[in-house]
Chains A and B, each alone.
Chain A
Amino acid sequence: MEQTAMMEKSSPGRMKFVIGGLLIVAAVIYLIVSSTQASAQYFLTVDELITKGESVKGRDLRISGAVIGDSIQYDPQTLTLSFTIAAIPGDNKEIEAQGGLAEVLKQAVNDPNRARLVVSYNGPKPDLLRNEAQAIITGELGDDGVFYANELLLKCPTKYEEAVPDQAGT
Chain B
Amino acid sequence: MLANFGFGALLITLLISLYGIGAAIYGVRRNQPAWVESARLAMLLTFPLISVVALSLIVLLVSGHYELEFVSSVTSNSMPIYLRITALWGGQAGSLVFWSWLMSAFATAVTLRRWDRDREFLPWVIVVSLITLAFFLILTIFFENPFERIWRAPNGQFIVAMFQPAGASLAMMRDGQGLNPLLRHPGMIIHPPMLYLGFVSFVIPYAFAIAALITGRTDDRWIRITRRWALVAWLFLSLGLILGGRWAYDVLGWGGYWGWDPVEIAAFMPWLTGTAFLHSVMIQEKRGMLKHWNMVLIILTYCLVIFGTFLTRSGVLSSVHAFAQSAIGPMFFGFIGLTFIASLYLLMQRWDSLKADTHMTSMLSREALFLLNNLLFMSILVVCFWGVMFPLISELFTNQKVTVGPPFYERATAPLFAGLLLLMGVAPLSAWRHSTAKTLGRAIWKPFIFSLLVGVLLPLALGVRHWAALLGFWLSAFVASVTLYEFWRGALARRRKSGENLALALWRLAGRNRRRYGGYVIHLGVVLMAIGIIGIEMFQTETQGTIPRGGSLSLRDYTVTYQSLAMFDTPDGRNVARAVLSVEKNGQYVGELHPRRDYYFESQQPMTIPGVRSTMEDDLYVLLVDWMPVSSQGATFKIYHNPLVNWLWLGGLVFILGTLIAAWPEKDPEEAVERAPRSAYAGAQV
Query: Which among B171, B378, B391 is the interface contact of A2 at CB below 8 angstroms?
Result: B378
In the complex, B605 has a CB within 8 A of chain A: yes
Interface residue B63 (Cβ < 8 Å from any Cβ of A): no
Contact with B along A77-101 (1 / 0, CB 8 A): 1110000000000101000100011
> A64 touching B318 by the CB < 8 A rule?
yes
Interface mask (B362-393 → A, CB under 8 Å = 1, otherwise 0): 11000010011001101100110010001100
Given the interface contacts A6-B371, A28-B382, A41-B404, does A128 sit within 8 Å of B177 by beta carbon? no
A20 touches B356 (CB 8 A): no
Query: Is the C-beta of A44 less than 8 angstroms from some C-beta in chain B?
Result: yes
- The reply to whether B363 and A39 contact each other, CB–CB distance below 8 Å, is no
Residue B621 lies at the interface, judged by CB distance under 8 Å to chain A: no
B503: Cβ under 8 A from any A Cβ: no
**Nearest Cβ on chain B to A40's Cβ, whole angstroms:** 5
Contact between B605 and A127, CB atoms less than 8 A apart: yes
Interface of chain B residues 390 through 439 with chain A (CB within 8 A) = 390-391, 400-405, 407-409, 411-412, 415-416
Which of A7, A38, A42 is within 8 Å of B400, CB to CB?
A: A42
> Within 8 Å CB of B603, what residues of A?
159
Which residues on the B side are within 8 Å of A142 (C-beta)? none
CA distance A25 to B519 in the complex (A): 28
A170–B408 CA distance with the chains assembled, in angstroms: 54
Residue among A10, A41, A166 with most chain B CB within 10 A: A41
A contact residues around B415 at 8 Å (CB): 27, 31
A-chain residues with CB within 8 Å of residue B356 when the two chains form the complex: 8
* Extra contacts besides A5-B293, A38-B411 (5): CB < 8 Å: A76-B626, A79-B636, A155-B322, A159-B177, A168-B171
- A127 in complex: contacting residue of B74, B177, B606, CB < 8 Å: B606
Task: Flag whether B51 is at the interface (Cβ < 8 A).
Answer: no
Do B91 and A161 touch across chains, with their CB atoms under 8 A apart?
yes
A selection of 17 A-B contacts at a CB cut-off of 8 Å is A2-B296, A8-B356, A27-B415, A35-B383, A36-B390, A36-B408, A39-B411, A76-B628, A90-B401, A123-B544, A123-B638, A124-B638, A127-B608, A163-B177, A164-B72, A164-B150, A167-B173
Alpha-carbon separation in the docked complex, A24 to B377 (Å): 12
Q: CB of A13 within 8 A of chain B? A: yes
B73 near A: Cβ within 8 Å? yes
Residue on A with the closest CB to B383? A32
CB of B404 within 8 A of CB of A35, answer yes
Q: Determine whether A120 belongs to the interface, using a CB cutoff of 8 Å to chain B.
A: no
A169 touches B405 (CB 8 A): no
Q: Among the listed stretches B324-332, B551-559, B573-581, which one makes contact with chain A, having 4 or more residues with CB under 8 Å of it? A: B324-332
Check B402 against A24 for contact (C-beta < 8 Å): no
Q: Decide yes or no whether A73 CB sits under 8 A from chain B.
A: no
In the complex, which residues of chain B have a beta carbon less than 8 angstroms from the beta carbon of A79? 544, 546, 625, 636
The chain B residue with its CB closest to the CB of A21 is: B375
Interface magnitude class on chain A: 35 or more
When the two chains form their complex, are residues B174 and A159 in contact, meaning their CB atoms are under 8 A apart? Answer: no
Residues of B within 8 A of A20 (CB): 363
Which one of B92, B171, B290, B402 lies within 8 Å of A6 (CB-CB)?
B290
Q: Which 5 A-B pairs have the closest CB atoms?
A: A43-B401, A124-B625, A35-B412, A76-B626, A39-B407
- Give the complex CA separation of A166 and B363 in angstroms: 68
| Closest chain A residue to B544, Cβ basis | A79
Which residues 43-73 of B sit at the A interface, judged by CB distance below 8 A?
66, 69, 72-73
Q: From residue 303 to 327 of chain B, which have CB atoms closer than 8 A to chain A? A: 315-316, 318, 320, 322-327
| Chain B residues, CB < 8 A from A2 | 293, 296, 378
Given contacts A10-B359, A76-B626, A31 and B412 within 8 Å (CB-CB)? yes
A10–B358 Cα distance when bound, in Å, is 10
**Assembled-state Cα–Cα distance A28/B636 (Å):** 44
Known contacts A40-B402, A41-B405, A90-B401: does B636 contact A124 (CB below 8 Å)? Answer: yes
B window 164-193: CB within 8 A of A: 171-177, 180
Could you say which residues of chain A place their CB within 8 Å of the CB of B368?
17
- Which chain A residue has the least Cβ–Cβ distance from B176? A165
Residue of A nearest to B290 (CB): A6
The smallest C-beta distance from B162 to any residue of chain A, in angstroms, reads: 15
User: Is B158 in contact with chain A by the CB < 8 A criterion?
Assistant: yes
What residues of chain A lie closer than 8 Å to B407, measured between beta carbons? 35, 38-39
CB-defined interface of A111-124 with B at 8 Å, one 1/0 digit per residue? Answer: 00000000000011
Chain B: minimal CB distance from A87 (Å): 15
- Please tell me if the beta carbons of A161 and B73 are within 8 angstroms of each other in the complex: yes
Are B173 and A165 touching (Cβ within 8 A)?
yes
Query: Which residue on chain A has the smallest CB distance to residue B637?
Result: A124
B172 in contact with A170 (CB, 8 Å):
yes
Instruction: Return B427 CB to nearest CB of chain A, in Å.
Output: 15
Binary interface profile of B, 140-179, with partner A (CB < 8 Å = 1, else 0)?
A: 0000000000101000001010000000000111111100
Least CB distance from A19 to B in Å reads 10
- B672 at the A interface (CB under 8 A): no
**Contact between B360 and A8 (Cβ–Cβ < 8 Å)?**
yes
Docked complex: B646-666 residues within 8 A CB-CB of A: none
User: Which of A2, A28, A34, A41 has the largest number of chain B CB atoms within 10 A?
Assistant: A28
Q: Does B11 contact A (CB under 8 A)?
A: no
Contacts of A8 in B (CB 8 A): 356, 359-360
B85 at the interface (CB under 8 A from A): no
Q: Which residues of B sit under 8 angstroms from A100, Cβ to Cβ?
A: 325
Contacts of A159 in B (CB 8 A): 177, 180, 603-605
Contact A31 B383, beta carbon cutoff 8 Å: yes
Give B594-649 interface residues, CB cut-off 8 Å to A. Answer: 603-608, 623, 625-628, 634, 636, 638
Residues of chain A contacted by B150 (CB below 8 angstroms) = 164-165, 168
A101 to B171, CA, bound (A): 25
**One of A40, A41, A160 near B180 (C-beta < 8 A):** A160
B261 → chain A closest CB, angstroms: 9
Say if the beta carbon of B228 comes within 8 Å of chain A: no
| The one of A11, A76, A96 that contacts B546, using a Cβ cutoff of 8 Å | A76
Central interface residue in B180, B316, B375, by most chain A CB within 10 Å: B375
Within the complex, the shortest CB–CB distance from A134 to chain B, in Å, comes to 8
Q: Are A124 and B626 in contact (CB under 8 A)?
A: yes
> CA A38 – CA B150 in complex, angstroms?
50
CA distance A92 to B330 in the complex (A): 13
Contact A167 B174 (CB under 8 A): yes
Nearest CB on B from A49, distance (A): 12
Q: For A1, A20, A32, A123, which residue has the most chain B Cβ atoms within 10 angstroms? A: A32
Question: Which residues on the B side are within 8 Å of A28 (C-beta)?
Answer: 379, 382-383, 416
